[in-house]
Each structure stands twice: as C-alpha cells, then as structure tokens.
Amino acid sequence: MKMLFAVLMMLSTAGFAQPSDFLILKKNKKPIQYFYAGSQIQFMSTNGAYRDALINQIKNDTIYLQEFLVQRLPTTFGSYFIDTVGSFRYSYHYNQVGSFGKAQKKGFNLSGSGAALMGGGTLLTLASAVSYVADKEKFSPQLLIASAGLATAGYFMSRTGRKGMVIGKKYKLQYMNMTNK
C-alpha cells in the first residue's frame, strides 16, 4: 500500500508552467542583458521620466512596473531605519524605453565641468585672436596655445558620462513573445 501511494504521488505531481515574455537588450546585435518578470530595471523613458523599478509582468509589448518609495526615518535613539512608505505602479510600452543607466548624481558633474572649461577655453582663444589683430606687440602665443588646449580638454571631458545606453543605432531593445496563440 505504501508503495502504491508513493507511485501515485510521483505521477500526480507533474508541474506545468506558463511561459513568460521577456526583453533583450542588444549591443550591435549581441545580447548583453535580459529582462524578465521579477527582475529590477533602471531606465529613462522617451518622455524624460527616470524609473528604477521591479518588473511585475511583461505582456503584449507592455512592461508592468512597481516602484517602491523608500525613506530613512529617525528613531528616538538617534539612529535611522529604512521604511517602505508606498509603491507606485506604471506601465510602459517597450518602445518608450529611451536609455538604460542610472540617473545623474548630485555631486561633481564631470560633463558639466568639461562644458564650462570648453566654453572658457573658446572664449580665451577668441580674445587672444582679437588681441593679435588689435595689438601684435601685446599678443601672447602661449595664452593662445593654452586656451586652445583647455578648450580641447573641456570638449573631451564633456563627452564622458553622457546619457548611458541610448536605444537607437548601437543599442536595441527586442521584445520576445513566448505566449501560445
């Protein structure tokens, strides 16, 4: 009797699973990341909203997200604890994902500093050119070379840390439909 019970339990516990849709992030036609239901995703949408959320479901070309609002709250003892205050649900079509990557940090911005250095170097180069035209005796070629060098360095600094992985020519987001029709 015990043997019959064991055999019946093994035969009746067959599991069935429903396939889930997923997304593939490709760089130059090579997959670099997969996104499934239950995984975390960080992206900037095409309308400018930054989302760092959990994927609840991917279905019919739509990504269903849940973003949690987390706060540090002080205790009476002078320490802090982390509390989930609430959550928000969003849904995006997969074509509304504009770029992947983290949002800009609030600290030192290398890209912005490079743009300021490039602007200042360009302004000094133009001022040096005006000085050469107006009074050739007071013209300093060292200032011209240094300001052109600063403008060039500023250009390359401003190119770093741009927008992350922008969906377009280099990066593609592909939707994989796994449901049976």
Identify the CA nearest to 89 among candidates 63, 110, 111, 70: 63
pLDDT at 41: 92
pLDDT at 162: 61
pLDDT band with cut points at 50, 70 and 90 for residue 170: confident
Q: How many residues does the chain have?
A: 181
Q: Crossing angle of helices 110-134/141-159, nearest 10°? A: 160
pLDDT at 110: 76
Q: Is 105 helix (H, G, I), strand (E, B) or coil?
A: coil
Tens digit of pLDDT for each residue in 102-141? 655 667 777 788 888 888 899 989 888 888 888 888 888 8
pLDDT at 163: 64
DSSP state of 26: E
Residues 6+ apart with CB under 8 A from 89: 56, 64, 65, 66, 67
Q: What is the mean pLDDT of residues 140-159?
A: 88
Tens digit of pLDDT for each residue in 76-95? 998 999 988 899 999 999 99
pLDDT at 103: 54
pLDDT at 1: 75
pLDDT, the chain, mean: 84
pLDDT band with cut points at 50, 70 and 90 for residue 14: low
